Amino acid sequence: MFGYILKRIGVAFLTILLIMVITFLLMNAIPGSPFLTEKSTPEMIARANAKYGLDKPLIVQLGNYILNYLKGDLGTSLKMQEGTAVTKIIFQEGKFALSFRLGVCAVIVAVIIGIPLGCLAAYNRGKWIDSVLRVITTLGVAVPSFVLCALLLIFLGVKLNWVPVISGSLGTFKSYIAPVLGLSFYPMCYIAKLTRTSMLDAINQDYIRTARAKGLKTRVIIFKHALRNSMIPVITYLGPMTAGIVTGGFVVEQTFQIPGLGKYFISSILNRDYPIIMATTVVLATLVILMNLVVDIAYKLVDPRISLTKKGEN
């Protein structure tokens, strides 16, 4: 158990390191200098390079970056907000907090709506309600998030005028509705599908037959006995879901004009502000990898039947 956790932490660190190296090398593979503008002279570029430590050999720069990262320093913006520390831009100006709030809301909505929907479908298996839910969830995992977000924008925002068209910095409750819905719809449908499948698997188990033989009500059997044991796949999905929410955030923040980290990441890419691209990539990647780590360890703790030492296929 302890060995397994250590191993997973090791892989997670290696992955973060790998991402840093990859992003760093990719960034430096781009021809030209970030300081190259129409007016800049070679001396100015050299001075700027010296100022930001870009004149040193690559390996030294990389080492410095990793050391600074461990100290919590992510470098300085070169273009978009020149001279400002990236950590300040990301954490103190509320960008991270905004995206984080949105993401957490979406996770909560996806879980607390998705699981009951899956139970409902399993409970009414083969009836009309199951068919309706199956159509909705199948469609839900096929609609690209940007199409869904745009539809929400048109119908809820423009046609019905229920929610503001520009969500901004999520000041009011209403401004949450459309972005959270857009962000949580895919995971919600996926969770509902997962829950239904694993619930139907669980129903065929022996202990359910025992419970039924004891004369328990179907409702009790489903929600007390079957649900608990069918939660494992859902917990496993929480890791990939975080990654999905992070990437979904790019689209949602773009569509609803929320100045969060995702929107900032995209505009830093389009503006080629390399330290910001690198910092946001590393921060988001760390978040996703940590979440995967936590989920992997958690679900092995939750289900004692899963052997930690035996190697599965995955």
Partner 1 sequence: MKGFNLFQLNVDRIPGYDALGPEDFASATAEEREAMVESRASVSYWRDAARRFKANKVSMAALALFLLIFLFSYLGPLFIPYNYSDQYRGSGKLGPGEYSKAEQIIKKAEGQCDGFFATALIPGSLTNLSRNTTYYFKYNGTTYSFYNESAVSNAVLLFSASSSTPLSLITESDLDAGNMEKAEPLQFSTGAVDTSDLNTQELKLIKRVFPHIFGTDSSGRDLMARTMYGGRVSIAVGIIAALIVLIIGSVYGSVSGLAGGRVDFVMMRIVDIIYSVPDVLIVLLLQVVLKAPLQAWLDASATDFARLMSNLGVGIISIFITFAALYWVGMSRIVRGQVLQLKEQEFVTAANALGVPGRRIVKRHLLPNCVGQLIIATCLQIPSAIFLESFLSFLGLGVSIPMTSLGSLCSDALDTITLYPYRLLFPGIILTLLVLSLNLVGDGIRDALDPRLKK
Q: What residue ranges bind partner 1 (CB under 8 A)?
A: 11-12, 14-15, 18-19, 22-23, 26-27, 29-32, 138-139, 141-147, 150-151, 153-154, 158, 165, 197, 243, 246-247, 250-251, 254-255, 265-266, 269-270, 272, 277, 281, 284-285, 288-289, 292, 313-314
* Nearest CB to partner 1, comparing residues 13 and 220: 13
224, two tokens = 């007390």
Q: How far is the CB of 208 from partner 1 (least distance, A)?
A: 19
* Nearest CB to partner 1, comparing residues 27 and 208: 27
Q: Which residue has the tokens 């790019």?
A: 250
* Nearest CB to partner 1, comparing residues 211 and 295: 295
* Nearest CB to partner 1, comparing residues 31 and 83: 31
* Nearest CB to partner 1, comparing residues 6 and 26: 26
* Nearest CB to partner 1, comparing residues 41 and 314: 314
Q: How far is the CB of 210 from partner 1 (least distance, A)?
A: 25
Q: How far is the CB of 101 from partner 1 (least distance, A)?
A: 20
Q: How far is the CB of 216 from partner 1 (least distance, A)?
A: 27
Q: How far is the CB of 213 from partner 1 (least distance, A)?
A: 27
Q: How far is the CB of 32 from partner 1 (least distance, A)?
A: 8
